[in-house]
């Protein structure tokens, strides 16, 4: 039996999130995990289940989700990605596969995760690229990037993030450590919010993004973010922005469990 890890990228638009969902007396919902499990089962010719590092929500994308499975696999490791992609739809791709220790856990072994939320301010009634609707959050409001940067800095550190999470986040503790929260500008007036941390609560990044947009619009002062954190009151934070602007960009693991460096050259 071998323990194998996969780096998976997907356009989350047409998925009900990562985690397999099988409602009683109904057909299974289309999820990334469900599609991968079917592809693995077909490739291995026996039932197989993979475990993902991050339970991305419906509509959220990933450049580098990490999944793992244990099986007797006759396919050479360097051909597993191609074998699975031949069995998957075009909106999910296995970018690489590698061997990991038999006790590898993609969730608990993760040292850090990085998410990006992408925003495109635009004037009302102006034309927009048609594929933006799947990957970028559009707003008709001008945003003050400098104000957003000041507000974002208050989120760095170890805090109780109850105010920045869905009420039913389902975690035993709402305390998380944010290593970095940066607001940057890209060509074509794009604004990106890059957040990294040791873990995230349900909707946490989308609520952070919604709060920073409120600051950028001038509807909230940058210094208010510290007070929102301390309040632990979800009602004081900004809205939960739509899923399409969010993507999982990377996951960091200890060296003996990480994807080999030579296999990461295709990343941008």
CATH at 138: 3.30.70.660
Listed residue (119, 125, 133) closest to 205, CA to CA: 119
Residue 182 and residue 125 share a domain: yes
Residue 116 and residue 105 share a domain: no
Domain span holding position 60: 2-109
Is 23 inside any structural domain?
A: yes
* Kind plus residue range of the DSSP H or E element containing 224: helix 224-231
Is 263 inside any structural domain?
A: no
Residue 189 and residue 163 share a domain: yes
Decide if 42 is catalytic: no
Pairing of strands 61-71, 246-252: parallel
For the chain, which residues score pLDDT lower than 70? Answer: 123-131, 170, 262-268
Q: Which of residues 43, 75, 109 is at a domain's end?
A: 109
Active-site residue identified among 11, 57, 89, 233: 57
Residue 229 and residue 159 share a domain: yes
DSSP 141: S
Listed residue (194, 174, 179, 151) closest to 234, CA to CA: 174
Is 161 inside any structural domain?
A: yes
Is 157 inside any structural domain?
A: yes
The DSSP string of 201-212 is -TTHHHHHHHHH
Residue 137 and residue 243 share a domain: yes
At residue 262, the pLDDT reads 58
Alpha carbon distances (Å) from 148 to 113, 144, 212, 216: 21, 6, 5, 5
Residue 126 and residue 231 share a domain: yes
Q: How many domains does the chain have?
A: 2
At residue 171, the pLDDT reads 77
Q: Are 232 and 162 in contact (CB under 8 A)?
A: yes
């Amino acid at each position: 039996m071998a323990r194998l890890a996969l780096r998976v990228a997907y356009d989350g638009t047409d998925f009900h999130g990562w985690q397999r969902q099988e409602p009683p007396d109904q057909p299974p919902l289309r999820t990334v995990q469900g599609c991968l499990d079917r592809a693995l089962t077909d490739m291995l010719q026996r039932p197989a289940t993979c475990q993902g590092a991050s339970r991305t929500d419906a509509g959220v994308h990933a450049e580098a989700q990490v999944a793992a499975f244990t099986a007797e696999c006759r396919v050479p490791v360097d051909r597993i990605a191609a074998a699975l992609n031949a069995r998957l739809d075009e909106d999910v791709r296995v970018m690489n596969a590698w061997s990991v220790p038999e006790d590898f856990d993609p969730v608990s072994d993760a040292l850090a995760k990085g998410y990006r939320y992408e925003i495109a301010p635009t004037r009302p009634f102006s034309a927009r690229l048609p594929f933006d609707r799947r990957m970028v959050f559009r707003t008709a409001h001008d945003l003050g990037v400098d104000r957003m940067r000041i507000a974002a800095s208050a989120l760095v550190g170890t805090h109780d993030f109850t105010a920045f999470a869905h009420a039913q986040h389902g975690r035993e503790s709402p305390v998380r450590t944010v290593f970095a929260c940066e607001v940057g500008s890209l060509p074509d007036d794009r604004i990106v919010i890059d957040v990294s941390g040791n873990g995230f609560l349900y909707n946490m990044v989308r609520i952070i993004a919604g709060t920073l947009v409120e600051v950028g619009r001038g509807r909230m002062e940058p210094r208010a973010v510290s007070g929102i954190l301390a309040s632990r009151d979800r009602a004081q934070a900004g809205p939960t922005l739509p899923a399409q602007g969010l993507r999982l960009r990377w996951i960091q693991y200890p060296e003996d469990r990480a994807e080999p460096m030579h296999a990461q050259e295709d990343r941008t």
